[in-house]
Structure 1
Amino acid sequence: MGITKYFEEFELNEKRSTGGRTVTETDIVMHAGQSGDFFPHHMDEEWCKTQPFKKRIAHGTLIFTIAIGLTAHVINEVSMTYGYDRLRFIKPVFIGDTIKATVTISDKKEHKKPGYGLVTELVEVFNQSGELVMICEHVLLVHKKES
């Protein structure tokens, strides 16, 4: 869905939530092939049985990719991604887990480029049990309505 939302229109603590997405074995295998990360933590079920989690875990970069994709159901036509900060993987995500994200506007500030501001979204990702599994800050470069 496309929207037009200018820098001045963002409100601190404004929230939105995404739908859920179940992580599959296919997701993990495809991500390993695309990224080249075939570490046994993701690919070797038998080896994982000897490790603390006892089963394969999804790549952190896969969870990041899925989570940010979940937030993309709203596309602001007057903003673009400036970057991501403070990315942390809090808990492992396993095959069969369903994740969803909550996005909260956590900061707004001026940008050195005239006509733009920076909006920071706190992205929190939860599993089906409501446990926080990933967190990051998504920084947006947003056009100002009046420049």
Structure 2
Amino acid sequence: MYFKSTFFDDYTVGDKRVTLGRTITETDFVVHAGHTGDFFPHHLDAEWCATQPFKQRIAHGTMIFSIGIGLTASEINPEAFSKGYDKLRFVKPVFIGDTIHSEVTISEKADAKKPEQGTVTEHVEVINQHGQVVLACDHLLIVNRK
């Protein structure tokens, strides 16, 4: 794994990175349901879903969040750590066979409580194969200064 030190001073508001894609499968639905205990028919009952507005099974929002954020984990920055996520929204449904990727934009920088650190906000959008945002959130980081 590649380790790159990116300090608070190195982040620039507006910088963007785009991940590779990942196609969502029926296996993803089943495994996520098993991990979480969320066996609601919206995710697993194809016959019931056929009678509903989307006419097909809908991915768990928490699964799309997990996969979308996992796609962004391409390198480790030893100078930063995650403080969590804010403003999480499930914007559009994701279906079996959809391919998603994530786009991360540095949206904000600010001072932290400790003077040797700063805060960085990464706005994350998970996007489907049609170019539609299906999930959005803000990733909050605490980052060491040089």
- After TM superposition, the score normalised by the length of structure 1 is 0.97
Q: Secondary structure at the match of 1:94?
A: coil
Q: Which runs of 5+ in 1 are unaligned?
A: none
| Pairwise CA distance, 1:34 | 0.4
Inter-partner Cα distance in structure 2 for 1:49 and 1:136: 30
Distance in 2 separating the partners of 1:13 and 1:74: 19
Aligned amino acid, residue 122 of structure 1: H
**Matched residue, 2:116:** 115
Q: What is the rounded CA distance, in whole Å, between the counterparts of 2:93 and 2:116 in structure 1?
A: 41
Moved over 2 A (4+): none
- Counterpart of 2:16? 15
Question: How many residues of Structure 1 are paired with residues of Structure 2 in the alignment?
Answer: 145
Aligned to 1:44: 45
Q: Which structure 2 residues correspond to residues 1-147 of structure 1 after superposition, within 5 A? A: 1-145=2-146
**Aligned partner letter, 1:66:** I
The CA deviation string for residues 40-81 of structure 1, in whole angstroms up to 9 with x for no partner, is 000100000111100001100000000000000122111011
Superposed CA RMSD in Å reads 0.7
- Which consecutive unaligned segments of at least 5 residues does structure 2 have? none
The C-alpha deviation readout for 1:55-114, integer Å capped at 9, x for no partner, is 001100000000000000122111011010000010000001000011000000111123
Q: Which amino acid aligns with 2:78?
A: E
SS at match of 2:113: coil
Partner SS, residue 58 of structure 1: coil
Alpha-carbon distance in structure 1 between the residues aligned to 2:55 and 2:19: 29
Q: Alignment identity in percent?
A: 59
Aligned equivalents of 1:80 and 1:11: distance in 2? 17
C-alpha deviation, 1:126, in angstroms: 0.5
